Amino acid sequence: MVYAGSREPFKKMEKKTTNSPRMVLLKLGGSLITDKDVPLSINENALRAVGAAIRSSRIKERRISLFLVHGGGSFGHFYASKYHLSQTPKKVLPIGITRTCHAMLKLHSIVKEYLEHYGIATETILPSELLRRNLGSFSNPGRIHFINAVNNGLIPISFGYVGLEEDGAYVVSGDAICKAAVNSLKVCRTIFATDVDGIYPNSNLEGEIIRELSKDHKIITSKHVLDVTGGIRSKIKIGFELAAMGTEVFYVNGAMTGRLRNLIQGKNETKSTRIVNL
């Protein structure tokens, strides 16, 4: 067993020791792992870069506990937008739900395959196990699965999906899973890995990224036409919420192995945007 104390990562069981593993939450954005402009296309180079970054981070030796979440990119958003799914529950064509879920399961399987190739052993925690709408934190079955995964040396991984309620189906974004994770776990650091170097002042992505992002910055954003979860604007908003809950928040280009590795290892001096000054 790698991690001391089976329930250690969970907030309720808080009992800090110097030996506690540092929990790092890594969100692999859909913009990173897929090509958002081409439906159902993956970004192989980015997946390799992520695999190399995680492998070279030597998380076990460094006592880092990783939780991975990935987005939907050109898999999930393509069908979700085609069948009018959004983050608010509504009745949609059942085949639309099936197709969106199936596309996400395919993408998830591809992500796992790439990680496996780099020796990274993951355990899928379905979003439906972890979350219930309006709960805001992990449900008990999700917690138990998470703990059992960690205690068996596996890296828990979840992903954006479709939630079902009496009043309809809705999109559960990867970023929303991150928020529930920070609510439920002692997350030291949250890393949003996307296909760009960090947060730019402007949506034309020209000039330098903002290294230290505070609420005083006025950021101009844009989102992909098919995006059903609010794009970077929503990711920045969630980032500030997470930072206020006590986790460090970074935005980094996940295709840059060295940068991603540095952030996983807790080194801040790397090209990225960090949230400061709440």
Least CB distance from residue 254 to ligand ADP, whole Å?
8
Report the residue number, 194 or 257, with the smaller CB distance to ligand ADP. 194
If binding is defined by CB under 6 A, does position 89 make contact with ligand ADP? Answer: no
Residue whose CB is nearest to ligand ADP in the complex, by number = 29
Least CB distance from residue 2 to ligand ADP, whole Å?
29
If binding is defined by CB under 6 A, does position 30 make contact with ligand ADP? Answer: yes
If binding is defined by CB under 6 A, does position 235 make contact with ligand ADP? Answer: yes
120: phi then psi, degrees, rounded to nearest 5: -95, 115
* Residue corresponding to tokens 């993408």: 107
Least CB distance from residue 75 to ligand ADP, whole Å?
11
Least CB distance from residue 230 to ligand ADP, whole Å?
7
Report the residue number, 149 or 263, with the smaller CB distance to ligand ADP. 263
Q: Which of 31, 74, 122, 247 binds ligand ADP (CB under 6 A)?
A: 31
If binding is defined by CB under 6 A, does position 260 make contact with ligand ADP? Answer: no
Report the residue number, 21 or 30, with the smaller CB distance to ligand ADP. 30
The interface with ligand ADP within residues 191-220 (CB under 6 A) comprises: 194-196, 199-200, 202-203, 219-220
Chain contacts with ligand ADP (rule: CB under 6 A): 29-32, 71, 73, 194-196, 199-200, 202-203, 219-222, 224, 227, 231-232, 235
